[in-house]
Amino acid sequence: MIDYRIVPKEGFSIKIGELVSMLEHTREVTLTEISNLSQSDIDYLKEENDNTIGALLLHIASIEAVHQVISFENRDFNEQELRQWKTALELGENARLEIKKETLDYYYSMLSKVRKDTLRQLKARDDQWLYEEKQWPNGTPYNNYYLWYHVMEDEINHRGQIRTIKRFLYNSR
């Protein structure tokens, strides 16, 4: 059952616990949205330049993974990580060619694996960490709180795309 309250999660500092509550709510709604999809549903393309639900799910995982290394390790993806996640990060033609024929369990597993590491890392941080300021290469400041807000924002945005794809899919049956 989805929890519709934002409350600090046990085992985390207060603000990080609230952030975890929001991250987990966002993910629960996403997982509920995809829970009844078949493998062909996951690979459905309405138009040739669209993204599949599977590609969007891996993109959600890839955004979280890159934000892990940016916020927890103060770096960007290394070559190995980029090889693993680049197609999902960028979406588009390569994603249409490469991200397909996987089961829903595969996508659940990828999302879960990345989230498990996020939660492990967040447990090791305190609320002050959320407010640590850094700068993008162009000099624009940001903080860790913003990075994790963006992870949620990105997932919610792509969940909207998934809902749109599902509408087209179900209307075509």
What gap in Å lies between CA 160 and CA 147, rounded to an integer?
A: 20
pLDDT of res. 46: 86
Mean pLDDT of the chain, nearest integer: 95
Rounded percentage of the chain residues whose pLDDT exceeds 90: 91
What gap in Å lies between CA 155 and CA 16, rounded to an integer?
A: 18
Would you place residue 171 in the very low, low, confident or very high pLDDT band (cuts 50, 70, 90)? Answer: confident
The domain ranges of the chain are 14-171
Q: What is the Cα 24 distance to its own chain's centre? A: 11
Rounded percentage of the chain residues whose pLDDT exceeds 70: 99
Secondary structure of the chain: what % helix, strand, coil (to 5)? 70, 5, 30
Sole residue written with tokens 């795309």: 161
pLDDT above 80: residue 53: yes
pLDDT of res. 170: 82
What gap in Å lies between CA 16 and CA 42, rounded to an integer?
A: 33
Number of neighbouring beta carbons within 10 Å of residue 5: 6
Q: What is the Cα 82 distance to its own chain's centre? A: 16
pLDDT above 80: residue 72: yes
pLDDT of res. 100: 95
Do 98 and 3 form a contact (C-beta atoms < 8 A)?
A: no
Architecture of the domain made up of 14-171: Up-down Bundle (1.20)
Number of neighbouring beta carbons within 10 Å of residue 128: 10
Check residue 47 and report its DSSP letter.
S
pLDDT digits (tens, 9 = 90+) for 78-116: 999 999 999 999 999 999 999 999 999 999 999 999 999
Sign of CA dihedral 56, 62, 63, 64: positive
Partners of 142 in beta bridges: 134
Among the listed ranges 39-48, 80-89, 101-110, 117-126, which one has the minimum average pLDDT value? 39-48
Partners of 133 in beta bridges: 143
Sole residue written with tokens 């890839």: 62
